[in-house]
């Protein structure tokens, strides 16, 4: 299955998450810079950071080295962390949103809808089995996976740029969340979540910004990075 890619457009992403059961209090907003002055403008609390970055050879080389290093050294991963694999081409935008929401359900208070039912169905499943839920949604229009994929396709067509599912996409979305005192990078194409060290709800935005800066420094000749935050429109 190949989907149309979601655009890094907060308006489109907000339609998507609100349609599927996220209360309108919570919204995706642009993060216009990673210095302290720019971060000060981001509404709090921030529940997740979503990074869109170029898929360069430097990225793939670093990801391979990072994976091998972590497999050898091991890392702490919270048993409360929600993680799913990506098996559907161009689904990274939706999976980044799922990761952002699923790891904050205690704060978001989801309404009845697709996200809530999908996360209920995903309980107890492995990351691979969760990925298969979207990869094989079936033809049942009432299934939550089918509804999510349909919403993705519909809203991907609302983006400002013309979408073509057969055109190679050279950018990728990942999500960053805080869970049980650690900062996690959630990328469904990697072997596992990446623990970037300790953080807190209060320092999460600044800590995630440091990791995003590392992505940008590794590909310093490319300016095609976009950063967004899942945040509250009011406290």
Note the pLDDT of residue 231: 97
DSSP H or E run through 25: none
> Tokens for 4?
């149309």
Residue 95 lies in a domain: yes
- 61 lies in some domain: yes
Domains held by the chain: number: 1
**Residues of the chain under the 70 pLDDT cut:** 1-2, 138-142, 159-169, 223, 234-235
Question: What does the radius of gyration of the chain's CA atoms come to, in whole angstroms?
Answer: 17
Domain interval for residue 179: 10-232
**Inter-residue contact 146 to 139 (CB < 8 Å):** yes
pLDDT for 80 equals: 97
Catalytic residue list: 92, 172
Tell me the CATH number at 79: 3.40.532.10
Q: Compute how many other C-beta atoms are within 10 angstroms of the C-beta atom of residue 5.
A: 24
List, in sequence order, the alpha helices (H) in the chain: 10-19, 36-39, 57-73, 92-102, 105-108, 114-122, 127-135, 144-156, 204-218
pLDDT at 23: 97
Within-domain flag for 4:
no
Asked, for residue 5, whether it belongs to a domain, the answer is no
How many of the other CB atoms lie within 10 Å of CB of 103? 24
- On whether residue 1 sits in a domain, the answer given is no
112, part of any domain = yes
Residue 224 lies in a domain: yes
Residue 235: the pLDDT is 44
Q: Is the pTM of this model over 0.85?
A: yes
Helix pair angle (92-102, 10-19), 10° resolution:
60
Q: What is the pLDDT of residue 139?
A: 59
């Amino acid at each position: 299955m190949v989907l149309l890619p979601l655009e890094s457009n907060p308006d489109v992403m907000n339609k998507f998450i609100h349609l599927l059961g996220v209360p309108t209090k919570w919204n995706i907003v642009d993060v216009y810079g990673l210095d302290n002055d720019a971060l000060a403008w981001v509404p709090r609390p921030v529940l997740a950071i979503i990074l869109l970055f170029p898929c360069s050879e430097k990225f793939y080389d670093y990801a391979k080295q990072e994976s091998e290093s972590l497999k050898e050294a091991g890392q702490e991963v919270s048993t409360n962390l929600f993680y799913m694999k990506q098996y559907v081409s161009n689904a990274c935008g939706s999976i980044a949103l799922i990761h952002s929401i699923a790891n904050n359900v205690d704060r978001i208070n989801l309404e009845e809808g697709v996200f809530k039912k999908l996360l209920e169905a995903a309980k107890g499943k492995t990351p691979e089995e969760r990925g298969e839920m979207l990869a094989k949604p079936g033809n049942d229009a009432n299934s939550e996976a089918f509804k999510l994929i349909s919403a993705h396709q519909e809203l991907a067509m609302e983006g400002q740029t013309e979408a073509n599912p057969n055109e190679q996409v050279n950018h990728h979305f990942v999500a960053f969340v805080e869970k049980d005192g650690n900062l996690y990078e959630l990328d469904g194409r990697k072997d596992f979540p990446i623990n970037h060290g300790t953080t807190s709800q209060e320092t999460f935005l600044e800590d995630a910004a440091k990791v995003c800066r590392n992505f940008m420094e590794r590909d310093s000749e490319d300016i095609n990075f976009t950063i967004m935050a899942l945040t509250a429109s009011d406290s």
